Every structure is written in C-alpha cells, then in structure tokens.
C-alpha cells in the first residue's frame, strides 16, 4: 500500500516539477503570438469565456439546485437528480459537438458565445448538485421559524435558506469554475482560437487551454516552452482556487 502511495506522490511531484521548469519571461508578456509573444490574449479570452459561462450557468444551476432541494422529494426529483448526475459525466467533447450543432452551425462561425455556452452546459449540472446538497444542509428549524412568522414559501427560500447556504453554494460555484478553467475539448471547435486580442463575443476567441494544446502538439521547441509556461499560469489559477475552496470548507463545522 505504501508503494501505491509513493507512486501517486511521485507522479504528482513529477507533474508539478516539470511545470516549474519554466521561463518566467513568458508568463507576463501580454503580447499576441508572433515570434516571441505571449499568452496574454489567451488569458483574457479564457477569463471572458469563463465569465460568460458563469453568468449563464450559475443562475440556472443554482435555481435547479434549489428546486431539487425544496421540491424534489418525489419520483420526478429522483429522476432529475439521476439525469443531472449522469450529465456531470458526459465527455466534454460531446458537449462541444452539441454546442457546435446548436450555435456554431447556424451562426456560421466560431464564437466566444459558443465557447461560453459549452462551458456553461458543463457547469450547470455540477452547480446544481452542489447547491442542492448545500441547501439540504440548512436545518429545517430555520425554515419553520420563517414560515411561522408568516413568510410565503418563496420568501423563506430566497430570504432565509439561500443566505444560510450561500457560503456553501459559493464554494460549489468556485469548484465548478475551477473545473471549467481546465476544459479544452469543448472550446476546440466552438471558440476555435485566435492570434489576436479581441473582446467581441461573436468572434473566435483564444483560450489558455486550447493555446496550450496547440503549442504542445506543434513541432517548434519555442512553442513547447511557451506551452509549459502557459501551463504554469493555468495550474496556479486552478490550484489556488482549489486550495481556497478547501480552506473555506474546512472552517465550517
């Protein structure tokens, strides 16, 4: 068993180790890709699409989670829960294909909208499930107290239960964002990628993950180095988010 342990730790350290053999001068050049260049546009692109995804995915996910928690104790709720759980396991590339047929084909071109929507679709089931679990954790006495004071049920949920569960929901949301940060496949043919800075939502947009992929499979050594640098940026972001989530959830007892 100890051997198994060592294997895992070794591979993990190997992963971290290689990504830190990096070239710092690349990590903060916000120039578009050229001969030297950097990944600035990819970072911005990723951020924009994640924001887009959150703007759509969070409300829907949270609302669905609330429904499941408050009204979902029947066969229908079980069915929806099952479907949602299975949706979390759908390969992200399939989501990409779906959004491709839904948004890219009619629009005629790749766009940040499509990329953002694909990420939102991945986010929704995750957010819904964590929201539901967080809301279920809110003790019933709070609900009963509010109802006893004469609040209608919707008031109870929005005014009492949601604020009580808010920290938990926020951490669930952060986890979903961390997960979505690292997604590449759905963005491959929805947002495509671009060599330029751009903030127009109906044009192709670069993203950190796709950029890493493109650099890694190319034949140029320079690009490989940039891929590692970009990975460092990405990993820092994701690891920080994950550690923050873990820290926050540890405090509440």
Partner 1 sequence: MSQVQTTTQATEGITATQRWNIRRALSQTGTTGDAVFRIVLFASVFIILAIVVGMVGMMLSNAMPAIKHFGFGFLTGKNWDPVRNEFGALPFIYGTIVSSVLAVLIAVPISLGIAIFLVEQAPRKIAQPIAFLVELLAAIPSVVYGLWGIFVLAPFIREHLGPILQKYLGWLPLFQGKLTGIGMLTGGIILAIMITPIITAIVRDVLTAVPVTQREAALALGATKWETTKVVLDNAASGIAGAIVLGLGRAIGETMAVTMVIGNMPQISASLFEPAYTIASVLASNFAEATDELYLSSLILIGLILFVVTFIVNGLAKLLVMTVTRGKSGTAKAA
The interface with partner 1 within residues 184-213 (CB under 8 A) comprises: 184-185, 188-189, 192, 209, 212-213
Rounded to a whole number of angstroms, the minimum distance from the CB of residue 201 to partner 1 is 20
Are residues 137 and 253 in contact, defined by beta-carbon separation less than 8 angstroms? no
> Which residues within the stretch 93-112 sit at the binding site for partner 1 (CB under 8 A)?
93-98, 100-102
User: Interface mask (CB under 8 A) for partner 1, residues 139-178, using x and -?
Assistant: -------------xxxx-xx-------------x--x--x
CA distances from 140 to 1, 73, 110, 215 (A): 43, 15, 47, 53
Q: Are 148 and 233 a contacting pair, CB within 8 Å?
A: no
| Dmax (CA) of the chain | 69
Tell me the two tokens of residue 59: 């409300």
Please choose, out of 27-35, 45-53, 125-133, 138-146, the segment that lies near partner 1 by the rule CB under 8 A.
125-133
DSSP string, 108-128: TS--HHHHHHHHHHHHHHHHH
Stretch that binds partner 1, among 23-31, 45-53, 80-88, 162-170 (CB under 8 A): 80-88
According to CB under 8 A, which residues from 13 to 52 bind partner 1?
Answer: 14-15, 18-19
Among 215, 193, 216, which Cα is nearest to 46's? Answer: 193
Closest distance to partner 1 from the beta carbon of 53 (Å) = 14
């Amino acid at each position: 068993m100890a051997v198994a342990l060592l294997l895992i730790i070794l591979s993990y350290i190997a992963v971290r180790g290689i990504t830190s053999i990096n070239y710092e001068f690349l990590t903060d050049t916000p120039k578009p890709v050229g001969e030297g260049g950097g990944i600035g546009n990819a970072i911005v692109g990723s951020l924009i699409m994640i924001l887009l995804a959150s703007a759509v995915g969070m409300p829907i996910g949270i609302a669905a989670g609330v429904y499941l928690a408050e009204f979902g104790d029947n066969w229908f709720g079980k069915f929806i829960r099952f479907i949602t759980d299975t949706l979390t396991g759908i390969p992200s590339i399939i989501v990409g294909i779906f959004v491709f047929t839904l948004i890219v084909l009619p629009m005629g071109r790749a766009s940040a909208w499509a990329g953002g929507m694909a990420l939102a679709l991945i986010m929704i089931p995750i957010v819904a499930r964590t929201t539901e679990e967080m809301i279920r954790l809110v003790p019933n006495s709070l609900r009963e107290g509010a109802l006893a004071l004469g609040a209608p049920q919707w008031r109870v949920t929005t005014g009492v239960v949601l604020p009580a569960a808010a920290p938990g929901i926020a951490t669930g949301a952060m986890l979903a964002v961390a997960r979505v940060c690292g997604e590449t496949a759905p963005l491959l043919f929805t947002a495509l990628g671009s060599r330029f800075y751009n903030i127009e939502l109906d044009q192709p947009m670069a993203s950190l993950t796709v950029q890493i992929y493109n650099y890694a499979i190319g034949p140029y050594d320079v690009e490989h180095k940039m891929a590692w640098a970009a990975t460092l940026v990405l990993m820092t972001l994701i690891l920080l988010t994950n550690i923050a989530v873990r820290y926050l959830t540890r405090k509440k007892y």
